[in-house]
Amino acid sequence: MNPFSQLGIRHDVVNAITALGFEKPTPIQEQAIPALLTGSSDFVGLAQTGTGKTAAFGLPLLELLDFSQNSPQALVLCPTRELCLQIANDLKNFSKNISNVHVVAVYGGASISDQLRQIRRGVQIVVATPGRMLDIIGRKAIDFSGVRYVVLDEADEMLNMGFQEDINDILSTTPEEKKTWLFSATMPAEVRRIAKNYMTDPFELTVGTKNTGNANIDHEYYVVRPRDKYAAFKRIVDFNPEIFGIVFCRTKIETQEIAEALIKDGYNADSLHGDLSQQQRDKVMKRYRERSLQLLIATDVAARGIDVNDVTHVINFSLPDEIENYTHRSGRTARAGKTGVSISLVTAKELGKIRQIERVIGKQFVKAEIPNGFDVCEKQLFALVHKVKAVDVNDEQIGQYLPRIMDEFSEFSKEDIIKHFASLEFNRFLDYYKNAPDLNVSASDARGEKGAKGDRFDRTGYKSDFTRLFINLGSVDDFTRGDILGYICNTAQISGKNIGKIDLKGVYTFFEVENAVVDKVTSGFQQADFNGRSVRVELAGDRDGGSSRGGSSNRGNRSSRSGGRGGRERERDSGGGFRDFSGKRRERKGERKKW
Ligand code: AMP
């Protein structure tokens, strides 16, 4: 028997949701559905978005309402237009095999007359954002005297957005004896108060730990210098060729700037913020949903309630002002049991905020290293190779051109052809990353940066007492980091203390040595051989543009090519380009700062 049938959901609905791919109930559905089906108690569910809560309240509603009556019996209030449409759509899908179910979505920014017309035609379930709902109530265009269930979805977000009074007003038009079901990702005092004011002895349910982010989300942070933030961000994006992400900024201006810079740099990105008209926002969201956009750059407010499946990464280009918002942001990924990554780009000064978020979400962040140029190129190259392997070949179509294509390549060996195809896309990355510097902030840098006012760095943007070297030995030679440390110390006759970070790769390793012993190391390896193979040690700058001694600036080279993705980097030195967004501007005036 289908597990949803066991929970008490009728056959027609089970069939519809099975077609949607719901094979078994999510934890919140498993626990909430039987409780809500009784129809006799209020309910408080503490659950993140993406846990399946729409079906958790939607399926019981479909069992409890009387669809032979064409009058409003259930009202679902939610914070945003996107969520409103999503819920209404879900309810329509769930009920597609039941006759005479009428669901109306009521939200701002769209024609009110259409919505009024739909209401007049008869509706049992109204899904609404508070502002427009109140407008319609004000016009006396709806009768809520027969409402038996009110759902407050994403209650914390509705309160965050200042809908408290609207909600009070709307609820006052519904009957006393109705049941109220409240869902919230977090339980701040304001939401508690709503639960207390509007509910009697509610059935309470917590999925996961209170205030805890979705367990399927990995939280990572990268420590960067403020002026390297954009370059670091691009590198992370380039290192994830299949990324489908939402990038959060703190202000509309920042959102716009980042999106524009990305577009100029050839990325598939656009921005979503409050200064756009509803129509513009719809257009952006449509493109994102359809995956014509790979990166959506958004403010917290604009992105509230966005429900797009399969978002692979949430990137906090800037941390949110309020810790609670971190949960909302990261909840946009890892939906419906999928996994996702929430990445934060922070300066050394902001490390304390990461620790605070960890305490709130009850999960530890992993400190990640910004990939170097070589790694990005490798990743991109193999993404390309896999794409070439997986592409659908239309034999019929291509067949007619094949003789000519073969002719064109007649002089090429198989290897030549492969090299040429791979280079076609890949040269841009090679070119861009050939001299890319290490963007990670080392612990010593971080300490220095903390005290440093105005973030002064040398011309290369790199401040270090260490030099990064390359050695052509790595894990495939059975080295661990400890082994290679010992091997380098022995061969070059230096102490372990002279060595900094070791970055062990497959066939090579990058390692830092104190500037004072660089010559000793390079000369120490001059005659070295390992299992009959000659060992090469070189300045990493020649390989990945790491901090080579003397620090010649590579920036000029980088802006020499433009156009394609990875082509041109934005100027971001102190005078122009990006600002340091550290807490000076607020998107919403008078906002509380919770750090
Ligand atoms: P929600 O939390 O209601 O926004 O749901 C998040 C996503 O999970 C939506 O795309 C739903 O279609 C999907 N979903 C909800 N319940 C299930 C289920 N039992 N099995 C598979 N997918 C589900």
Domains defined along the chain, listed by start = 3-206 (3.40.50.300), 374-433 (no CATH), 466-551 (3.30.70.330)
> Quick check: 298 and 271 in contact, CB under 8 A?
yes
Please tell me the distance between residue 17's alpha carbon and the centre of ligand 1 in angstroms. 10
Mutate to test the pocket of ligand 1, among 4, 24, 26 (most ligand atoms within 8 A of CB): 26
What number of other Cβ atoms are within 10 A of residue 50's Cβ? Answer: 23
Over residues 257-284, the mean pLDDT reads 88
Where b means 16+ CB within 10 Å and e means fewer, 513-548 reads bbeebbeebbebbeebeeeeeebebebbbebbbbbb
Over residues 433-441, the mean pLDDT reads 84
Terminal C-alpha separation, the chain: 50
| Ligand 1 atom closest to 21 (CA) | 21
**Amino acid code (one letter) for 466:** F
Please tell me the distance between residue 264's alpha carbon and the centre of ligand 1 in angstroms. 36
Please tell me the distance between residue 51's alpha carbon and the centre of ligand 1 in angstroms. 6
Q: How far apart are CA 127 and CA 106, in angstroms?
A: 6
Please tell me the distance between residue 94's alpha carbon and the centre of ligand 1 in angstroms. 11
Over residues 7-26, the mean pLDDT reads 95
Higher pLDDT among residues 326 and 56, named by residue = 56
State the pLDDT confidence band at 33, using cuts at 50, 70 and 90.
very high
Q: What percent of the chain has pLDDT over 90?
A: 46
Predicted pLDDT of residue 574 = 26
Predicted pLDDT of residue 208 = 58
- DSSP assignment letter at 199: -
Q: How far apart are CA 209 and CA 89, in angstroms?
A: 29
Please check the confidence at residue 192 and state whether its pLDDT lies above 90: no
Predicted pLDDT of residue 544 = 47
Helices (H), 452-567: 481-492, 518-524, 555-558
Higher pLDDT among residues 497 and 188, named by residue = 497
β-pairing, 203-206 vs 217-223, is unpaired
Predicted pLDDT of residue 291 = 92
> 181: which strand partners?
43, 151
Over residues 78-107, the mean pLDDT reads 95
Summary mean pLDDT of the chain: 82
Please check the confidence at residue 558 and state whether its pLDDT lies above 70: no
Tell me which range, 148-152, 186-190, 250-254, 518-522, is most confidently predicted by mean pLDDT: 148-152
Please check the confidence at residue 167 and state whether its pLDDT lies above 90: yes
Higher pLDDT among residues 341 and 361, named by residue = 341
Please check the confidence at residue 556 and state whether its pLDDT lies above 70: no
Please check the confidence at residue 195 and state whether its pLDDT lies above 60: yes
Cα 95 to Cα 17, 57, 61, 243, distances in angstroms: 9, 13, 10, 34
Predicted pLDDT of residue 591 = 34
Tell me which range, 20-24, 428-432, 443-447, is most confidently predicted by mean pLDDT: 20-24
State if pTM tops 0.75. no
Please tell me the distance between residue 178's alpha carbon and the centre of ligand 1 in angstroms. 26
Over residues 490-513, the mean pLDDT reads 86
Return the closest-CA partner of residue 274 out of 295, 250, 247, 301. 301
Predicted pLDDT of residue 541 = 56
Mutate to test the pocket of ligand 1, among 5, 9, 13, 54 (most ligand atoms within 8 A of CB): 54
Predicted pLDDT of residue 231 = 93
State the pLDDT confidence band at 445, using cuts at 50, 70 and 90.
low
Higher pLDDT among residues 491 and 475, named by residue = 491
Q: Please state the three-class secondary structure of 420-479 as a single string.
A: HHHHHHHHHHHHHHCCCCCCCCCHHHHHHHHHCCCCCCCCCCCCCCEEEEEECCCHHHCC
Choice among 478-482, 499-503, 565-569 with the minimum mean pLDDT:
565-569
Please tell me the distance between residue 50's alpha carbon and the centre of ligand 1 in angstroms. 6
Q: How far apart are CA 386 and CA 103, in angstroms?
A: 44
Predicted pLDDT of residue 437 = 85
Predicted pLDDT of residue 302 = 83
As for ligand 1, residues whose beta carbon falls within 6 Å of it are: 21-22, 25-26, 29, 49-55, 307, 309, 335-336
**Tens-digit pLDDT profile for residues 509-545:** 888 888 889 999 999 998 888 888 889 888 875 454 3
The tokens of 533 are what?
């193979």
DSSP letter string over 41-74?
S-EEEE--TTSSHHHHHHHHHHHHS-TTS-S--E
Predicted pLDDT of residue 576 = 27
Mutate to test the pocket of ligand 1, among 31, 94, 335 (most ligand atoms within 8 A of CB): 335
What number of other Cβ atoms are within 10 A of residue 22's Cβ? Answer: 20
Please tell me the distance between residue 305's alpha carbon and the centre of ligand 1 in angstroms. 14
Predicted pLDDT of residue 442 = 67
- Decide: helix, strand or coil at residue 344: strand
Query: Tokens 């501007």 correspond to what residue?
Result: 585
Please check the confidence at residue 321 and state whether its pLDDT lies above 60: yes
Over residues 478-490, the mean pLDDT reads 89
Over residues 110-122, the mean pLDDT reads 95
Report which secondary-structure segment, H or E, holds 340. strand 340-346
Please check the confidence at residue 185 and state whether its pLDDT lies above 50: yes
Choice among 378-382, 488-492, 503-507, 588-592 with the minimum mean pLDDT:
588-592
Please check the confidence at residue 571 and state whether its pLDDT lies above 50: no
Predicted pLDDT of residue 422 = 81
**Tens-digit pLDDT profile for residues 396-416:** 889 999 999 999 999 999 999
Residue with CA at minimum distance from ligand 1 atom 13: 336
Q: How far apart are CA 309 and CA 332, in angstroms?
A: 8
Please check the confidence at residue 261 and state whether its pLDDT lies above 80: yes
Please check the confidence at residue 455 and state whether its pLDDT lies above 50: no
Choice among 58-67, 137-146, 308-317 with the minimum mean pLDDT:
308-317
Please tell me the distance between residue 104's alpha carbon and the centre of ligand 1 in angstroms. 20
Predicted pLDDT of residue 464 = 57
Residues written for the chain: 595
Residue with CA at minimum distance from ligand 1 atom 21: 22
| Ligand 1 atom closest to 4 (CA) | 19
Report the sign of the C-alpha dihedral through residues 322, 325, 326, 327, in that order: positive
Where b means 16+ CB within 10 Å and e means fewer, 77-103 reads bbbbbbbbbbbbebbbebbeeeeebbb
Predicted pLDDT of residue 557 = 31
